[in-house]
């Protein structure tokens, strides 16, 4: 499952790039330095601001303040060129990065925890006992132990954490055991697929907040539950009456109307059938059922009302 890039200018984005099969592709200082060289050059071509980094052996963490330009304004100048350089250097062929990077928006109150999490990556990996002993992250630049490159926003990062420079190392060390759990988006993704051409945007975490995006040519589908509600309302039924097992009368017509209106909006017959408690075969029969004039009028009324609702959301 992939999310669409939906960046928020001015907000902090956590970007995680992993290497294929979690292999250790970065094993030398020169390899790490070259990745940072590309990253630094990319910062000169974008309005995104880099707050922190951790270049680990099998994955990379970056924290940015998002800009108005798309994330590709910097990402396409880093990972792909690094992969090409790495393959040429090691005389290999094949991908280096596993799919595309994950991206999360971090709420303002959690930015300090994010930077500490990134800086403590070598500690949690057992490479060093304290973040300040590693040269794989931006932590030493924050402490003034290394000269910060002009493209690294240490002062802005300290400002966002609210921690003074002389207290920063101890503050990060106290958070060395903090782990980051990526929230599961699979259930949300499964539900949005029922609405048609809807994709998940870049999520904001703690608490989880996921924007839903539609392509310009997207055709949105109503939910089967909403179909049932509108049909029941137009016919003056209690919602439970549409579930009546009787094969005759107004309940059967209501089920047929719900399924046939749903088909117009691209809702699978089986999905509407599930919503009203009937089997797929029964839903197929109702989809082909001929309605009398009064019920056709109800169908058109339900269709018009539902169409108005969908347009009001666009």
Print the SS3 string covering 143-193: HCCCCCCCCECHHHHHHHHCCCHHHHHHHHHHCCCCCCCCCCCHHHHHHHH
Percentage, residues of the chain above pLDDT 70: 82
- Domain with 48, as residue range(s), is 12-174
Residues 167, 20, single domain; the answer is yes
What pLDDT score was predicted for residue 219? 62
How many domains in the chain? 2
Pairwise pLDDT comparison (5 vs 153), residue with the higher score: 153
Residues 37, 109, single domain; the answer is yes
Mean pLDDT of the region 67-95: 94
The Cα 269–Cα 125 span in angstroms is 51
Residues 159, 38, single domain; the answer is yes
Give the residue carrying structure tokens 């990402």: 75
CB atoms within 10 A of CB 37: 15
Residues 50, 155, single domain; the answer is yes
Residue ending a domain, among 137, 156, 174, is 174
Pairwise pLDDT comparison (7 vs 229), residue with the higher score: 229
| Residues 119/121/127/131 CA torsion (nearest 10 deg) | 20
Residue ending a domain, among 110, 140, 174, is 174
Contact 148, 181 (CB under 8 A): no
What is the domain-level CATH number for residue 280? 1.10.1750
**Average pLDDT across the chain, whole number:** 87
pLDDT band of 182, cuts 50, 70, 90:
low
The Cα 155–Cα 161 span in angstroms is 10
Residues 280, 144, single domain; the answer is no
Residues 239, 309, single domain; the answer is yes
Tell me: the pLDDT tens digits for 57-76?
A: 999 999 999 998 888 899 99
Sign of CA dihedral 68, 72, 78, 81: negative
Give the least confident one: 32-36, 48-52, 109-113, 191-195. Answer: 191-195
Residues 154, 237, single domain; the answer is no
What is the domain-level CATH number for residue 46? 3.30.70.1290
Residues 84, 155, single domain; the answer is yes
Residues 54, 158, single domain; the answer is yes
Residues 18, 162, single domain; the answer is yes
The Cα 265–Cα 161 span in angstroms is 49
Pairwise pLDDT comparison (100 vs 35), residue with the higher score: 35
Percentage, residues of the chain above pLDDT 90: 54
Residues 228, 139, single domain; the answer is no
Residue ending a domain, among 138, 153, 174, is 174
pLDDT band of 217, cuts 50, 70, 90:
low
What's the predicted TM-score (pTM) here?
Answer: 0.66
Q: How many CA atoms lie within 13 A of 55 on its CB side?
A: 21
- Reading the block at residue 28, the tokens are 């030398």
Residue 200 has pLDDT above 80, yes or no: no
The Cα 299–Cα 253 span in angstroms is 10
Residues 256, 130, single domain; the answer is no
Tell me: the pLDDT tens digits for 283-298?
A: 999 999 999 999 999 9
Mean pLDDT of the region 132-145: 97
Burial status of residue 110 (CB atoms within 10 A of its CB: 0-12, 13-18, 19 or more): middle
- The answer to whether position 39 is within a domain reads yes
Residue 218 has pLDDT above 80, yes or no: no
- The answer to whether position 33 is within a domain reads yes
């Amino acid at each position: 499952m992939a999310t669409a890039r939906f960046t928020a200018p001015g907000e902090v984005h956590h970007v995680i790039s992993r290497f294929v099969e979690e292999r250790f592709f970065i094993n030398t200082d020169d390899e790490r330095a070259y990745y940072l060289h590309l990253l630094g050059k990319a910062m000169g071509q974008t309005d995104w601001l880099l707050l922190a980094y951790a270049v680990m052996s099998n994955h990379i963490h970056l924290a940015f303040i998002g800009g108005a330009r798309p994330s590709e304004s910097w990402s396409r100048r880093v990972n792909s060129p690094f992969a090409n350089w790495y393959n040429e250097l090691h005389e290999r062929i094949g991908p280096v990065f596993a799919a595309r990077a994950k991206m999360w928006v971090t709420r303002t109150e959690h930015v300090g925890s994010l930077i500490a999490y990134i800086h403590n990556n070598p500690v949690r990996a057992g490479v060093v006992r304290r973040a300040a002993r590693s040269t794989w992250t931006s932590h030493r630049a924050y402490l003034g132990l290394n000269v910060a490159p002009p493209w690294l926003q240490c002062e802005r990062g300290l400002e966002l954490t609210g921690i003074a420079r002389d207290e920063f190392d101890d503050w990060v060390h106290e958070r060395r055991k903090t782990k980051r759990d990526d929230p599961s988006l699979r259930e949300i993704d499964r539900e949005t697929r029922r609405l048609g051409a809807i994709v998940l945007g870049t999520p904001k975490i703690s608490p989880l907040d996921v924007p839903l995006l539609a392509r310009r040519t997207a055709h949105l589908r109503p939910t089967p539950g909403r179909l049932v509600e509108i049909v029941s309302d137009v016919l003056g039924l209690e919602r439970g009456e549409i579930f009546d097992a009787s094969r005759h009368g107004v309940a059967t017509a209501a089920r047929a109307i719900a399924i046939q209106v749903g088909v117009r909006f691209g809702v699978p017959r089986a999905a509407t059938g599930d919503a009203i408690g009937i089997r797929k075969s029964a839903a197929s029969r109702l989809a082909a059922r001929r309605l009398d004039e009064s019920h056709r009028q109800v169908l058109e009324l339900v269709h018009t009302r539902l169409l108005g609702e969908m347009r009001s959301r666009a």
